[in-house]
Amino acid sequence: MSVLHRLQRLRRRRGGWHQSPFLWVLGIACLLEVVFHASRFRVPVPPRELDTPFYTSCQEPPTTPPDTPRENAAIVMLARNEEADKAARSVRSIEQRFNRWFRYPIVFLNDEPWSDDFKRTLNASTGAPTFFESVPKEQWTFPSWMDKDAARASIKYQGDSGILYAGKETYHHMCRFFSGSFYNIEALRKYKWYWRLEPDVEFSCSITYDPFVEMARHKKVYGFTISLWEEKRTCPSLFREVSDWKEAQGIPSNTLWKAGIDASWAPWPFRSLLSWFSHRDRNGDGWNLCHYWSNFEIADLDFFRGPKYQDLYKHLEHTGGFYFERWGDAAVHSLAVNMLAEPHQVHHFADFGYRHDWYYQCPANAPGGQLPESQALNEAQSTWAEEIPGGVGCRCDCDGRRNRNHATYCLNKLKAPNTAHRPWSTWFLSFIF
């Protein structure tokens, strides 16, 4: 007897479906299957905190030039000539808070020739070596195989639809550049580490240790400050493309990858039907859209130059998604890091005070750790905000009573593989988003 006939007979029986042992067994089986499926994406709680700040108070800054070992690294900014004032504000901020003591070179990138005014303004903002480089034309345009008219029509449609920044052709070029060829351009070939700096950002705490040295010492490959949700409409097919590539390569799911997944609560076999929706893999499980905000990155160039990442980038490049959708480099970097790196290789710079646009991270100052007698620190910042128990910042001038002005859901999700003490709200919100 078919299941349909059985259900029809049950409906005619007195008492209805809810008294049928068959339906109870079926319902319990579905529930158990769904719970088992979701458990495959559980992120185990580590026995201790695996990613703590490298330092939790001020350190005495080194002499200039540094007398301690440094890494082969550069600070890198992509900017335009008309952004000279915004770029200078960022460089003055990082100069005051960090680079006055470490003198890492700053590499400026532009898709157009640099103006003399930009060079003068930026050279006056720092005592570090500066290099003004151009992005090769072939790396700041449409791929040679792409139908440019179709791509421009898609970009116009995206802009008319109100998708964030999607109506700007140069923004698509930028996202494609930062997702791939950035790591291999001649201007950066000699470096192993980079610190990405954007125009018009602000650092509100002193950074008195060398983050490049600490990243190398602790075998990290990627560091970030802020984590947010990606705008849904910018990249509806990106997660499917990445997850398909991952499956084709036979790459197992580590806990970082699982931290970015919202397991489907639909039972088999209906679960796979969800794969027709955006931000889903072929099994119907979804990406929670959490990503590392890439306007601040301190990372190992060799990680992104490696064959796996470059092969992934080539796969994504040939789908056309950088133009026919508006795939952002932050989302690409984040999915790749979560797939190819181990949790202990990713670092949250919780002690860095950082602002970009209207979003900020502001650590509280560490009690008794501000070194008020330090002449070098007093020359840079002689006053600071209130010291608060549990604070990890060094001479932060922002209000550490409010650590950030954005939701912490994504930060907590992406830090979960390294975090022993997790807020209950992250677990609860997983059922909502």
Give the count of beta carbons closer than 10 Å to the beta carbon of residue 147.
Answer: 13
Q: What CA–CA distance (Å, rounded) separates 408 from 416?
A: 12
DSSP 340: H
Q: Looking at this protein, which amino acid is placed at residue 227?
A: S
- List phi, psi (to 5°) of 192: -105, -30
Inter-residue contact 111 to 173 (CB < 8 Å):
yes
Residue 231's alpha-carbon distances to 2, 177, 222, 242, 427, in angstroms, are 46, 20, 22, 17, 22
- Of 407, 395, 430, 299, which Cα lies nearest the Cα of 361? 407
- Of 217, 250, 247, 410, which Cα lies nearest the Cα of 330? 410
Give the count of beta carbons closer than 10 Å to the beta carbon of residue 106.
Answer: 26
Question: Is 82 noted as a catalytic residue in this protein?
Answer: no
Identify each DSSP E strand in 52-164 by its residue range.
73-78, 106-110, 130-134
Q: What CA–CA distance (Å, rounded) separates 111 from 139?
A: 9
Tokens representing 82? 């008309």
Inter-residue contact 433 to 290 (CB < 8 Å):
no
Q: What CA–CA distance (Å, rounded) separates 222 from 242?
A: 19
- Of 90, 108, 102, 97, which Cα lies nearest the Cα of 128? 102
Q: What CA–CA distance (Å, rounded) separates 371 from 376?
A: 10
Percent helix, strand and coil across the chain, each rounded to 5?
45, 15, 45
Tokens representing 234? 């910018």
Looking at 71, 83, 230, 297, which residue is catalytic?
297
Residue 184's alpha-carbon distances to 30, 268, 303, 330, in angstroms, are 50, 44, 12, 18
Q: What CA–CA distance (Å, rounded) separates 351 from 344?
A: 18
Inter-residue contact 287 to 260 (CB < 8 Å):
yes
Question: Tokens 């072939």 belong to which residue?
Answer: 138
Q: What is the set of active-site residues?
A: 297
